[in-house]
Structure 1
């Protein structure tokens, strides 16, 4: 059934060891998505452990979204589902997660905007410009939504559906957490003006078909926003500590 031979388990945290072996087999595709795992009895015999250890291990794997149990059928390896992935991430969301996702944006978007500069259509440019103009008039959550749409339109203009889905996932994951942060941007006219000018520069470089300059403008923008976020989080922590 695709599972390598394993040594009998005799340590104290038996269920964790069973979980580790099964997870490793799933992630290395020894068990394929949609494939049924051996029965509880078969896993007990294979690992030399009791039923409770196997059941606890399967429960943990279910919590990670790696397997699902079907009544009367058994346990199956889950197929990749971005919606489930997003739901799990939102449950675990914290400031470190937001920081890490923003780091992914800094890796992803400078390359993505190059493709957008090369492939954008008139409809793409129109959608970007509309979202950019909305940023000048909307406040709070409305401003954040316009910012979200602007970056997503760039992803769409790249013509790469995988990049688009990644951007949608990342932006959706951090969107709610950044509402307060965007409110703080809107409340400071100088910062708001700078952010709008940065978006305008990115747009102009995409419109002109300038791949490298658009990438540089995007990276500068993301670095600027990340530094603002860190400053905002520091000030928020100080306020809470008072």
Structure 2
């Protein structure tokens, strides 16, 4: 008979799981101080050593951090911990994969932004567009502001996940087109058209404008990298 033995979890592991569950359900929020060890012992009906071990485990996982003489605090959200950064930066070499993600994500954000944007969001977007598109920073802030205009924290966090790769791609792109005034003007017109659709609350048109914009940028980047490769060969 093959009978699988029932695993016995240490009390400290169960305490760690319970604290994680309370973080997930909002009982404890990012940045807040956890109850003291004594209070946690009373709350969870366990010994001090189990609580101390649980906090060390959670500290190692990045869920809490310890302040000498003050106690344990819930860690703020940090998107960089969700991915292996080496793998992320390696992915920037594959423009197709990056833009596949951007098209899935940003067409949805453009659509949602057109529905949920506030007057303040419109004002910020106008301010970005009124500055000449002479660098990647304004381009990056334009796209991030559209995502923030959705009011959806999950979408915003997803954009933060790929922000490092987005920034690098935008730097490469603007380096590539900076001497081509016709292309720069074309990108500016696409941004303006996308903005007008969002301002008008036209979700379908905002979605179309975003996909057309990303298709063009991907095509130009691919051409640039292929040109560099063939030149080097």
Pair in the same fold by TM > 0.5: yes
Alignment of 1:151-162 (within 5 A): 151-162=143-154
Displacement of 1:133 in angstroms is: 2.3
Aligned counterpart for 2:108 among listed residues 91, 106, 111: 111
Query: Residues of 2 paired with 1:226 and 1:94: CA distance?
Result: 12
Compared with structure 1, are the counterparts of its residues 107 and 240 closer, same or farther at alpha carbon in structure 2 (3 Å cutoff)? same
Over residues 62-115 of structure 1, what are the superposed CA-to-partner deviations in whole Å (9 max), with x where a residue is unaligned?
A: xxxxxxxx9xx789994685222343444544412x431221110111111111
Query: Residues of 2 paired with 1:75 and 1:116: CA distance?
Result: 36
Aligned counterpart for 2:165 among listed residues 159, 165, 173: 173
Matched, 1:222 2:222: no
Query: Residues of 1 paired with 2:58 and 2:208: CA distance?
Result: 48
Compared with structure 1, are the counterparts of its residues 194 and 5 closer, same or farther at alpha carbon in structure 2 (3 Å cutoff)? farther
Query: Residues of 2 paired with 1:107 and 1:117: CA distance?
Result: 17
Compared with structure 1, are the counterparts of its residues 234 and 208 closer, same or farther at alpha carbon in structure 2 (3 Å cutoff)? same
Q: What CA RMSD, in Å, does the superposition of the two structures yield over aligned residues?
A: 2.9
Aligned counterpart for 1:203 among listed residues 195, 205, 230: 195
Unmatched segments (≥5 aa) in structure 1:
7-30, 36-69
Unmatched segments (≥5 aa) in structure 2:
6-12, 18-52, 64-77
Q: Which residue of 2 aligns with 1:85?
A: 82
Aligned counterpart for 1:126 among listed residues 115, 118, 123: 123
Matched, 1:149 2:147: no
Displacement of 1:122 in angstroms is: 1.2
Contact kept, 8 Å, 1:132 with 1:147, in 2: the verdict is no
Over residues 120-161 of structure 1, what are the superposed CA-to-partner deviations in whole Å (9 max), with x where a residue is unaligned?
A: 111101111112222x253xxxx1110000000000101101
Residue correspondences, number: 171
Query: Residues of 2 paired with 1:227 and 1:201: CA distance?
Result: 19
Q: Which residue of 2 aligns with 1:234?
A: 226
